Chains A and B, each alone.
Chain A
């Protein structure tokens, strides 16, 4: 019991912004609005919101690895793609009966995580750090994209699943929950919305606990000064590898949910542009804080979609400009900066009142 309490006390701490009744009140309010939202909206808009939520997971994974861990990984989209393809291959081969889609979700995430263990072992135990880490992960991502893009021929299949080259895989079954009588099929509207919202809230809170635990503190210590962390007796490589694998699993979850949402996955979801977008959301939001990342991702995604309506070509240029300006002017992120500013005002007000 005390252990559980201690765990919940980790929900706030030095590594995450937001504490006290005001923050959690706001959090509950946002969650309540999110829960009630499908009642006031139509299926299409709800489905679109699911699409936004799906990307938050990969943004959180990058926030974990880059913002907290200090290792810039361009490989998140690789795990995204691996998990997405794995889900497709598994479900097309074994169908959606007996709740297999849920098992396939877990297995696909596990495959992505396994790949991360392999890649991460070579990188972190080879002590690749800094810019080299970014390059190697980027090379892996581009390689995977090229590999999948050339699998157009009929000889490229795993069981019944054709890989289909550049056009990608499609028509995998949606997530299905076995239920006495009629199984519940989660199409990309209200059903999937609640599942993804639940997962998102769970992952967000779990990451808060993780980052404020001693593990999270070590991760941040490694980001601040790897040598010092090592001198204090921590095996830097092990901590980095674990962070990397957790991040890969989150990116994989994002990939599976994306595949489930649209019932397709293409190699371009691993390409240069696809790899750049999460970086933009996280950088603009504020990479060193979970809450800023979530807010930043949703805001930038919404802005991107709004821009796409007026001219999709210019939207990407705008995103590039946004990224460069953020790095130059507000390296800690716009949302994080705004939140810290609000926090300072709030504390000043409470001091004056007290």
Chain B
């Protein structure tokens, strides 16, 4: 095996880790960055997206439409949750964590009761290709592109659309935005729906690659939280670079010692980074800029 295949393999691993971190974290990061709310039911929104995707694919729809359906259903559930619970807790961030944890318990256990302990999965599309002695899944490349696509779409959404401008205004000075006629409650609802929808999208995208069980959200949330903690409150200055840094750590540790050590590496990285940069990467970058 020559150097080129090694390099390709390393890049592939990195891309895979990057896609997983960014896709699972961006929904959480949007909600946290815009609203200061940590959504502990994030994993369950991902689960919801994956389940809806699998169900629609079983019903005969093609996979992309299934993923779209998963995204939309998650976003709708997000609106309901925001209206019923989150809305009443904006001035109590710690209580939001507790309440969303309660929701996560309800969702996990409720799914277990209603759907059963497992659901038939969806086959991974596109097959694989060969580089050197190893074969690689094309779908993982698609996931990587999807992660980049999501970041680009979020950038466009928050910078170039009216909703994005209003949302950022609401986040900066809520009272001022409200005084200028922005319906801040609606903005908060939509932002939460956006985050929930992104979680659903992550679930839909990863549905073909994993077994669908009610506790599958737990496989995402640790990575998602770690990325958001390291990244800080800003999606572009935080989540994306944090995803990049952590992907290097994770893929290196994983190929060295296996899956578990990849995760331990993430945890150690997060503890060290928060000791050095308490506000995450984006806090650091923004401080340098001002």
Instruction: Give chain A's interface residues, CB within 8 Å of chain B.
Output: 70, 72, 119, 122-123, 125-128, 130-132, 134-136, 138-140, 142-143, 146-147, 150, 272-273, 276, 279-280, 283, 313-314, 316-317, 319-324, 327-328, 331
Instruction: Find out whether the CB atom of A126 lies under 8 angstroms from the CB atom of B226.
Output: no
- Select one of B105, B222, B225 contacting A320, CB under 8 A: B105
A65 to B10, CA, bound (A): 43
A315 to chain B, nearest CB (A): 9
| Residue ID in chain B nearest A128 by CB atoms | B274
- A142 to B219 alpha-carbon distance, docked (Å): 10
The answer to whether A147 and B260 touch (CB under 8 A), given A136-B270, A323-B101, A328-B88, is: yes
Determine which residue in A70, A131, A138, A273 has the highest number of CB atoms from chain B within 10 A of its CB, and name it: A131
A-B contacts, 27 of them at CB < 8 A, read A70-B94, A122-B275, A126-B274, A126-B275, A128-B274, A131-B32, A134-B38, A135-B38, A136-B229, A138-B222, A139-B226, A139-B229, A140-B267, A143-B222, A147-B260, A314-B113, A316-B109, A317-B105, A317-B109, A317-B113, A319-B105, A320-B102, A320-B103, A320-B105, A321-B102, A323-B105, A324-B106
Query: SS class of chain A's interface: helix, strand, loop or mixed?
Result: helix
Are B105 and A139 in touch, CB under 8 angstroms?
Answer: no
Q: A72-B98, A139-B222, A327-B98 are in contact. Are A132 and B112 (CB under 8 A)?
A: no
B contacts with A, residue count (CB < 8 A): 44
How far does the Cβ of B166 sit from chain A's closest Cβ, in whole Å?
A: 25
Complex interface residues of chain B between 97 and 130 (CB less than 8 A to chain A): 97-99, 101-106, 108-110, 112-113
4 A-B pairs with least C-beta separation: A323-B102, A320-B105, A320-B106, A126-B275
Determine the chain A residues whose CB is within 8 A of the CB of B89 once the complex forms. Answer: 327-328
Contacts of A125 in B (CB 8 A): 275
A324 near B271 with CB under 8 A, answer no
Cα A11 to Cα B156 with chains together (Å): 60
Structural contact, A331 and B263, CB atoms closer than 8 A: no
- Expressed in whole angstroms, the Cα–Cα distance for A319 and B103 within the complex equals 10
Q: Closest A residue to B225 by CB, please name it.
A: A135
CA distance A57 to B278 in the complex (A): 31
Q: How far is the CA of A314 from the CA of B110 in the complex (A)?
A: 8
Contact of B218 with A by CB under 8 A: yes
- Contact B97–A143 (Cβ < 8 Å): no
Name the CB-closest residue of A to B232: A132
Q: Let me know if B138 is at the binding interface, CB within 8 A.
A: no
Contact (Cβ within 8 A) A323 B99: yes
CB pair B264 A142 closer than 8 Å: no
A233 vs B266: C-alpha distance when bound (angstroms): 36
Asked whether any CB of chain A lies closer than 8 Å to the CB of B85, the reply is yes
Measured in the bound complex, the distance between the Cα atoms of B276 and A127 in whole Å is 10
Q: How far is the CB of B281 from chain A (nearest CB, A)?
A: 14
Query: Which A residues touch B95, using CB under 8 A?
Result: 327, 331
Contacts of A131 in B (CB 8 A): 32, 36, 38, 93-94, 97
Find out whether the CB atom of B270 lies under 8 angstroms from the CB atom of A139. Answer: yes
Q: Are A135 and B229 in contact (CB under 8 A)?
A: yes
Complex alpha-carbon distance, A276 and B106, angstroms = 12
Q: B97 contacts which chain A residues (CB < 8 A)? A: 72, 131, 134
How many angstroms from the CA of A11 to the CA of B97 in the assembled complex? 33
Task: Tell yes or no: B287 within 8 A of A by CB.
Answer: no
A153 to chain B, nearest CB (A): 12
* A150, B267: Cα distance in complex, Å: 17
CA distance A317 to B44 in the complex (A): 14
Q: Is the CB of B112 within 8 A of A313?
A: yes
Q: A139-B225, A324-B85 are in contact. List 10 more A-B contacts (CB 8 A).
A: A119-B271, A122-B271, A127-B278, A131-B93, A142-B222, A280-B102, A323-B98, A323-B102, A324-B99, A328-B89
